[in-house]
């Protein structure tokens, strides 16, 4: 199946779930505590390992994550197919949650799709490291690997960022990318 023949249904479903969860949390802000990942209470609320991936704090948080999810997701969904795209997305999100459980503050709450999205970026970094991308607000195209790794480093220093989840997602994505490249079927040539 060619790159263009694959559909984006899985991507649209993920985007839709994120938006619906954002609306729900906007209507009921207390849902952040029910659905967000808190390392100290994960045994009492194990579902948060997954639900936290779909919860966002504000309009800028979800907007940035959904634009990035669409950018990476549309390429990877077409390239890898639905099955491998979803395995990568959820695998990166889950490893991000695990990293946050192991290294995050016990009483803090982590939310957002960034760990899963860094996983998609990690795959792209391995499969197409020289791809040129523009990153707002920098007006100069740069190699994708610089944007992903540089973005991770810069974002990690911002207050209130769950860098542990980003790191876990990125590690998962890089490992998946190497697996796909080794298989030889998934490559941007």
Kindly report the CATH number assigned to the domain that includes residue 23.
Answer: 1.20.1540.10
Instruction: With residue 160 as reference, give the H or E element that holds it.
Output: none
State the pLDDT at residue 130.
Answer: 86
pLDDT digits (tens, 9 = 90+) for 29-39: 999 999 999 99
pLDDT at 2 over 60: no
188 part of a folded domain: no
- Predicted TM-score (pTM) of the model is 0.91
Q: How many domains are contained in the chain?
A: 1
Does any domain span residue 100? yes
Burial of 29 (0-12, 13-18, 19+ CB in 10 A): exposed
The closest of 46, 60, 88 to 180, measured between CA atoms, is 88
Say yes or no to pLDDT of 57 above 50.
yes
Domain extent for 76: 3-183
The C-alpha angle 37, 179, 182, rounded to 5 degrees, equals 165
At 185, is the pLDDT very low, low, confident or very high (cuts 50, 70, 90)?
low
Does residue 189 lie within any of the structural domains?
no
Q: List pLDDT tens digits, range 131-159.
A: 888 887 788 899 999 999 998 999 888 89
Scan for tokens 């808190």, then name that residue.
Answer: 38
């Amino acid at each position: 199946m060619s790159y263009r023949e694959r559909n984006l249904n899985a991507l649209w479903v993920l985007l839709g779930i994120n938006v619906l969860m954002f609306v729900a949390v906007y209507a009921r802000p207390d849902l952040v505590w029910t659905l967000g990942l808190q390392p100290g209470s994960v045994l009492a609320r194990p579902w948060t390992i997954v639900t936290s991936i779909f919860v966002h704090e504000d309009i800028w948080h979800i907007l940035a994550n959904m634009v990035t999810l669409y950018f990476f997701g549309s390429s990877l969904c077409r390239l890898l197919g639905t099955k491998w795209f979803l395995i990568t997305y959820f695998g990166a999100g889950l490893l991000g949650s695990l990293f946050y459980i192991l290294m995050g503050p016990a009483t803090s709450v982590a939310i957002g799709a960034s760990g899963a999205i860094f996983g998609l970026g990690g795959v792209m970094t391995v499969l197409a490291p020289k791809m040129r991308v523009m990153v707002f607000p920098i007006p100069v195209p740069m190699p994708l690997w610089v944007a992903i790794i540089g973005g991770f480093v810069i974002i990690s220093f911002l207050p209130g960022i769950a860098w542990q989840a980003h790191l876990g997602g990125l590690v998962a994505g890089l490992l998946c990318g190497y697996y796909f490249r080794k298989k030889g079927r998934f490559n941007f040539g």
